[in-house]
Structure 1
Amino acid sequence: MKRALVLCCAAFSAALTACSTAAPPVSLAATMTSPVDIRLNWTGTDPSAAGRIIEFATAADGPWTTLQFMPVRQDSYVHPDLMPQTSFYYRLRPYYGPASTAVTVTVPGGSAGNDSKDWPSPATLPGGPAATHPVRTGAAAPTDLKAKVLQSNGILFTWTDNAADEEGYLLEDQPAGAADYKVVAVLDRDINSFPLITLPDENTASYRVRAFYYGPPSNVVTRRTGGE
């Protein structure tokens, strides 16, 4: 069972401003593995990055759409079952920013029905210190991360926003036994309350929140699908 990544940034796909002082030494390549399947591989690393995103477009100048947030050590991605006779463009972008201290949460598991009128929405809670720290500094890390179990498969997260110029927030989790944290929600800037419906493998997981910003994109590669 998979959960679609929650994208709450209103202008997420259009957030293209380069925010890093130097381009990551990454080289992207694309290979057709079938008439409608494209495999992306890349070399190079950026030790200061928290992770990367892979983006695609069907025109050279965009608009760009995010396919996946990935850990830094990932070096390939397959984009399958594509529209025939179409040009696809790809690029990688790193993201940076300080993360909160992690909290471990256990939920009972199972399914629970939600009344959309009662289920909370992402929100900006009032109070707390003024968010005045530049996101490129450690002082901008979210603090006071709390997790409240709302139901058998639902958790409400709240935290203190300390960043003045973040692109947004990432909620990341690491289920018990998993090797890496993964991004489970992308949130607008200034959000500091978010409810998450957990998956079966997340009955026990570690969670953290990251104030983030994007770095500059890699080289752009393109391939045209075949097929019909």
Structure 2
Amino acid sequence: MPRKSRIAVPAALFLALSACTSHAAEPDRPLKAALTTPTDIDLVWHDDRPGVAGHVLEFATEADGPYTVLKYLPRQVSTYRHPDLIPHTTFHYRLRSYRGPTSEPTRVDRTESIRFTWTDESADEDGFLLEIRRKGGGTRYEPLAVLDPDVTFTELATLPGEKDASFQVRAFVLGEQSNVVRLTTGE
């Protein structure tokens, strides 16, 4: 039976959060969508504003929602394909940027389970993202888990590709939403 290891994250992972602010979506950076097959919608956007850590892509089948999160995306990603959708259905999409500081990266080698802990010194975060940089992935961190506001720990059971990875925790504050795009799928 494999031994379950727990790692107390070093003090470098403790967060000191400053006040974060929301930023409105700029009109020259709209979200765009195209029906690329009868049941696939491709979304594209451009956002090179400083301080943007990433984006949250959401969709709904009604104009007023409720909206569901499709994915938290790192800053470097500016396209997304929403595949295999229900035919003859209208989909509404919106994009929100997120901002926020990160912890110092923590390197993990050959563990079965990791326990992350941090100090929350901010009262205005919308939540926390546990982000991963896989071995050979360059300097890019990608969201791995979304945590509620005021949470100060989480555990992660690692997958084989995550055993030689670096992790960081980011407190985030959502910005204003983008324009809403609407498309109806075909046959």
Q: Structure 2-normalised TM-score? A: 0.83
Q: Structure 1-normalised TM-score? A: 0.69
What does 1:76-87 correspond to in 2, within 5 Å? 76-87=79-90
* SS of 2:161 mapped into structure 1: helix
1:136-187 CA-to-partner distances (Å, cap 9, x unmatched) read xxxxxxxxxxxxxxxx421111111111221111111101111310111111
**Alignment match, 2:66:** 63
What one-letter code is carried by the residue in structure 1 that aligns with 2:119?
Answer: T
1:175-219 CA-to-partner distances (Å, cap 9, x unmatched) read 111131011111111111100011211111111111111001111
**Alignment match, 1:23:** 25
- 8 Å Cα contact 1:172-1:183 kept in structure 2: yes
What one-letter code is carried by the residue in structure 1 that aligns with 2:166?
Answer: S
Residue 130 (structure 2) pairs with residue 171 (structure 1): yes
**Alignment match, 1:42:** 45
1:28-61 CA-to-partner distances (Å, cap 9, x unmatched) read 1111111111111123422211101111110111
Pick one of 201, 207, 213 that aligns with 2:161. Answer: 201
- 8 Å Cα contact 2:24-2:177 kept in structure 1: no
- 8 Å Cα contact 1:55-1:90 kept in structure 2: yes
What one-letter code is carried by the residue in structure 1 that aligns with 2:151?
Answer: I
Partners of 2:76 and 2:114 lie apart in 1 by 29
**Alignment match, 1:214:** 174
Q: How many residues align?
A: 165
1:110-129 CA-to-partner distances (Å, cap 9, x unmatched) read xxxxxxxxxxxxxxxxxxxx
Higher relative contact order (CA 8 A, sep 6+): 2
Partners of 1:224 and 1:178 lie apart in 2 by 36
- 8 Å Cα contact 1:26-1:45 kept in structure 2: no
What does 1:135-174 correspond to in 2, within 5 Å? 152-174=111-133
What one-letter code is carried by the residue in structure 2 that aligns with 1:186?
Answer: V
Provide the identity percentage. 48
Q: CA deviation at 1:92?
A: 0.9
Partners of 2:117 and 2:170 lie apart in 1 by 12
Partners of 1:92 and 1:162 lie apart in 2 by 27
- 8 Å Cα contact 1:71-1:182 kept in structure 2: yes
Runs of 4+ in 1 over 4 A off after TM superposition: none
**Alignment match, 2:103:** 100
Partners of 1:71 and 1:20 lie apart in 2 by 17
Flag structure 1 segments of 5+ consecutive residues without an equivalent: 1-18, 108-151
